[in-house]
Amino acid sequence: MLAVRGSLLHFLRDPGGEGSSGAEYFEDGLLLLRDGHVLEAGDAQALLQRLPAQTVLKDFSGKLLLPGFVDCHIHYPQTDMIASYGEQLLDWLEKYTFPAERRFEDPAHAREVADFFLEELLRNGTTTALVLGTVHPQSVEAIFEASRVRGLRMIAGKVLMDRNCPEDLRDTPASGDAQTRALIERWHGRDRMLYAVTPRFAPTSSAEQLRRAGRLLEEFPDVYLHTHLAENRSEVTWVAELFPSSRSYLDVYAGFGLVRPRSVFAHCIHLDHADRKLMAERGAMVAFCPTANLFLGSGLFDLLRARECGLAVGLGTDVGAGTSFSMLRTMQEAYKVAQLGGQTLSPYRALYLATLGGAQALKLEHKIGSFEAGKEGDFVVIDLAATPLLERRMRHARSLPEKLFAMIMLGDDRCIAATYAMGREVYAAGRHAPT
Ligand code: GUN
Ligand code: ZN
């Protein structure tokens, strides 16, 4: 038994546009865990009275405990080329991304980057991510192996890519299918790992490859589908040329049976009403990646319209097009994107999107995303006074939402005091994490 004391905040449902409905907060709270799972979360004064003997007590009083952050879209092989200058999507892929991904043919390189990448996620309080590998199956072996030793809940997949990319980064419909199948059989549902069938995006897969991806999903209905959709205007035009009979970019994926629950589409900036409606009806979800969308000049995601259409949305960092591993930074930029679109994003909804919202979007809300009893004990400890400016700003905050908003706007990895997975410390500020 582990009891963790601190201010607890989590969500039981989407708080919607404004206000704190769906949020539960215990200023002096206690999170009780048994065998790595949440037993109870509540008021510390009450729960401390009836703690079983031999409970280990960890005191984070004055700090904020949130469920571990959920990053719904990230490329681990792009860790080494994050922050590469001067291009928009299609040129950026050619100039920076493909050369970086080529190196993952080497399993030793893949494992070294995977280890760094997971440490960086944990340093930022992220405990679950939906991760793209490269075209090389060994890239996925590396990230799953590195996740397994840390006991993390991770979803990953090998990129399917058989055309319109460098020759030495291509698979074929048959090899991509066989490699994916072998990875699903080896990793999906093993410990906390789950698999995502991952065509990079429509331009780099032939119709035959997309057809086979659809067949794999029929055969393994509880695996994910993970890809990019309608991020950049030149990309959208290119897809229209490559698939002239499809009504829209989304319709290309829909035609191959790829739009269904557990389908996660990154970006979704240039969609129309019919696309949003179809995605919502089919139970597909969006990964909103604000730092990447601003960095590549792709456009402004319409968060309000997505909510009105009942479309599930999670947040993604999209490293290396995204400029930060930090979900706090990602929430900051999501707020600014909303502002640029004449909308807003309340601190409660931003934090919901980064925790339970992401878990719901990944259909994992029965396992992660909140402190409800029975859930896996993944959480993050946030120091609201981590920098002189934060400490000063907090002194002037009169309410919880004011504090949370200032934390989102000014916070980053410096605020993460500790990260836990299944009730086990996997990161502590100033200390190397045990693996
Ligand atoms: N579209 C296809 N591939 C990629 C990628 O690696 N990053 C981003 N942001 N968009 C993509
Ligand atoms: Zn991406």
**Ligand 1 lined by 390 (C-beta under 6 Å):** no
Mean pLDDT of the chain: 97
Residue 328 pLDDT = 98
pLDDT at 379 over 70: yes
Q: What is the mean pLDDT of residues 53-72?
A: 97
Residue 29 pLDDT = 98
Per DSSP, which regions of 16-152 are E strands? 23-34, 37-43, 56-67, 69-75, 126-132
- Cα separation, 144 vs 332, in Å, equals 30
Structure tokens at 271: 């969609």
Residue 60 pLDDT = 98
- Which residues are paired to 420 by β-bridges? 379, 425
Which residue ranges make up each domain of the chain?
2-67+370-428, 69-361
Ligand 1 atom closest to Cα of 78? 6
Question: Looking at domain 2-67+370-428, what is its CATH homologous superfamily?
Answer: Urease, subunit C, domain 1 (2.30.40.10)
Ligand 1 atom closest to Cα of 75? 6
Residue 121 pLDDT = 98
What confidence category does residue 17 fall into, taking pLDDT thresholds of 50, 70 and 90? confident
Q: Summarize pLDDT for 296-350 with one digit per residue, the tens.
A: 999 999 999 999 999 999 999 999 999 999 999 999 999 999 999 999 999 999 9
Longest Cα pair distance anywhere in the chain, in angstroms?
68
How far away, in angstroms, is 357 Cα from ligand 2 center? 19
pLDDT at 226 over 60: yes
Q: What is the mean pLDDT of residues 198-214?
A: 98
**Ligand 1 lined by 201 (C-beta under 6 Å):** yes
What confidence category does residue 260 fall into, taking pLDDT thresholds of 50, 70 and 90? very high
Residue 433 pLDDT = 53
**Ligand 1 lined by 321 (C-beta under 6 Å):** yes
pTM of the model: 0.98
> For the residues of 117-184, what is the DSSP string, one character each?
HHHHHHHTTEEEEEEE--SSHHHHHHHHHHHHHHT-EEEEEPEE--SSS-GGG---HHHHHHHHHHHH
- Cα separation, 217 vs 30, in Å, equals 41
pLDDT at 434 over 70: no
Residues near ion ligand 2 (Cβ under 5 Å): 266, 318
What confidence category does residue 295 fall into, taking pLDDT thresholds of 50, 70 and 90? very high
Specify the CATH class of 69-361 in words: alpha beta
What confidence category does residue 149 fall into, taking pLDDT thresholds of 50, 70 and 90? very high
The closest residue, in CA terms, to atom 8 on ligand 1 is: 321
- Cα separation, 2 vs 274, in Å, equals 49
pLDDT at 435 over 60: no
- Cα separation, 71 vs 263, in Å, equals 15
Q: Is the dihedral of CA 394, 400, 406, 410 positive or negative?
A: positive
Residue 432 pLDDT = 61
pLDDT at 386 over 70: yes
- Cα separation, 400 vs 149, in Å, equals 37
Q: What is the mean pLDDT of residues 254-266?
A: 98
